[in-house]
Structure 1
Amino acid sequence: MPIPVTRTFRESLAAADRPLAGMWVCSGSPLVAEICAGGGADWLLVDMEHAPNGLASVLAQLQAVAAYPVDAVVRVPGHDPVVVKQVLDLGARTVLVPMVDTPEQARAAVAAAHYPPHGRRGVGSALSRSAYWNRIGDYLATAADRVGVLVQIETAGAVARAAEIAAVDGVDGVLVGPSDLAASMGLLGQQDHPEVVAAVRTALAAVAATGTPAGVNAFDPALAEQYAAAGASFVLVAADVTALARAAEAVGTRFR
């Protein structure tokens, strides 16, 4: 039986000649995830932190988007290494760990994603979709090449340590989160505030200077373009639920 060939987001970033545009997948629906997968985005972020997603719904969404030429990244809800292990066993090729404030936390995130001696991921390949139930005969030996780790910096303190975090061996990319960054700066809900924008640009530059890809969340097209010009390698530019909400409102406004 042929084994599907997929690659990590790390490999897609390395091959890209432009910033990669991504879309949040937050509805928890495999159908909506598949619709988004066919929409032309370079990558999707299936969210477990701020969305009604558990292991079963993440699995269904990974299965739904697998046939499409789009990278699927899963944001785990926190730093629990058990959840990282479970999400990888489901077949996620790249995980995003939120709220990483220090190099030590970044190292822990990397360790959670890799087998010993490089990490502490539990071994269950015979039982997991990641190894196609041992149909990938060399999965354990090649797992480090099959898994990617992104970390998210979302506070002013993390911005100050952005270069140190990005330089951690095994961190394949750093995503800046302006929403929580704004909150940490006393500017809750003001992601476009000049001080927040300046902090994001500082983080992007610090990360890029280490050679690690830097990304950012920016639903405002003008900000997204500004961050791309400032060196962002990947940018989240939309979300399934907000796109649906705005489209539904447009229908209601026009025909009500």
Structure 2
Amino acid sequence: MERPSLRAALAGARPLRVGWSCLPDPLAAEIMVRAGFEAVLLDLQHGVIDMGVAPAMLAAVRAAGGHALARIPVGEYQSASRLLDWGAEMVVAPMIETADDARAFAAFMKYPPDGQRSYGPARAVQLSGLSADAYRTSANGSTLAVVMIETRAALANLDAILAVPGIDGVFVGPYDLSIALSPDGEPGLDRSDTIAAMERVVRQAKAAGKVCGAFGANAALVRRYLGLGFTFATLSTDMDLLAVATRAAIAEVEG
């Protein structure tokens, strides 16, 4: 049975289960898929993952039957093309604030005539199971360019960002967004202004026909964000899940 594309999976009847990987280990990423995550996002911005280990991690996620996502460091748009060549199906770009930022990112995500992505997807072709021609002709539609909305400027320019050709969706970083909205620079995920801003992102993204995601640090936040209407919300991180499981196991042993 052919696996649905990531775009099709995100449009499914229920939200996709998406994990977050910070640790530079292909086996850890594979275990996350085999344990129940249907997609895993590799964090090259704040995680310990780099471009040296990312290819093996993307392959491990795909081989285990999951969808492979990645977040690039701030402004490193050229990294997006390499991650796509290695098999990423979605690339997330942080700290996008203007339509010009979004256009610069999209150029590295899409083949001509829609962008300027250089052609050389040998590994992506292998992992997709498609012919080289089939991958080339379908890639612009099947791989997703997603920008992060996490500043006041991004909110102000949201409609212009969403209108950029080649941008497939937005992703909210609630911590950075709440800090940006706070007069004293303090995070506040429960503040009314943070929640109102997230509701606005969902409303405008859906009106533009784009996917919208959010980072959920725990199950309660994931439920909240899905309840607000987000297309998907990532759950915790591999580092936090390992720490939580370890504490729970020790507590069980020690009674």
Equivalent residue, structure 2, for 1:208: 206
Tell whether the 8 Å contact from 1:215 to 1:232 is kept in structure 2 after alignment.
Answer: yes
Equivalent residue, structure 2, for 1:62: 58
Per the TM alignment, residue 228 of structure 1 is displaced from its structure 2 partner at its CA by 1.4
Q: Identity over aligned residues, as a percent?
A: 33
The structure-2 alpha-carbon separation of the partners of 1:22 and 1:188, relative to structure 1 and needing over 3 Å to count, comes to farther
Equivalent residue, structure 2, for 1:132: 126
Query: What letter matches 2:132 in structure 1?
Result: G
1:1-256 matches, within 5 Å, as: 8-14=5-11, 16-125=12-121, 128-132=122-126, 136-138=131-133, 139-186=135-182, 187-253=185-251, 255=253
Per the TM alignment, residue 89 of structure 1 is displaced from its structure 2 partner at its CA by 1.4
Provide structure 1 residue ranges, at least 5 long, that are not aligned to the other structure: none
Tell whether the 8 Å contact from 2:114 to 2:165 is kept in structure 1 after alignment.
Answer: no
**Alignment partner of 1:96: what SS?**
strand
Tell whether the 8 Å contact from 1:10 to 1:173 is kept in structure 2 after alignment.
Answer: no
The number of equivalent residue pairs is 250
Q: What is the CA RMSD across the aligned residues, in angstroms?
A: 2.4
**Alignment partner of 2:60: what SS?**
helix
Per the TM alignment, residue 97 of structure 1 is displaced from its structure 2 partner at its CA by 1.1
The structure-2 alpha-carbon separation of the partners of 1:7 and 1:53, relative to structure 1 and needing over 3 Å to count, comes to farther
**Alignment partner of 1:226: what SS?**
helix
Tell whether the 8 Å contact from 1:9 to 1:73 is kept in structure 2 after alignment.
Answer: no
Question: TM-score of the superposition, structure 2-length normalised?
Answer: 0.87
Query: What letter matches 1:110 in structure 2?
Result: A
Per the TM alignment, residue 251 of structure 1 is displaced from its structure 2 partner at its CA by 3.5
Per the TM alignment, residue 255 of structure 1 is displaced from its structure 2 partner at its CA by 4.7
Per the TM alignment, residue 155 of structure 1 is displaced from its structure 2 partner at its CA by 1.0
Query: What letter matches 1:203 in structure 2?
Result: V
| Whole-angstrom CA distance in 2 between matches of 1:42 and 1:137 | 25
**Alignment partner of 1:20: what SS?**
coil
| Whole-angstrom CA distance in 1 between matches of 2:177 and 2:145 | 21
Provide structure 2 residue ranges, at least 5 long, that are not aligned to the other structure: none
**Alignment partner of 2:36: what SS?**
coil
| Whole-angstrom CA distance in 2 between matches of 1:52 and 1:243 | 16
Tell whether the 8 Å contact from 1:167 to 1:212 is kept in structure 2 after alignment.
Answer: no
Query: What letter matches 2:90 in structure 1?
Result: T
| Whole-angstrom CA distance in 2 between matches of 1:224 and 1:43 | 15
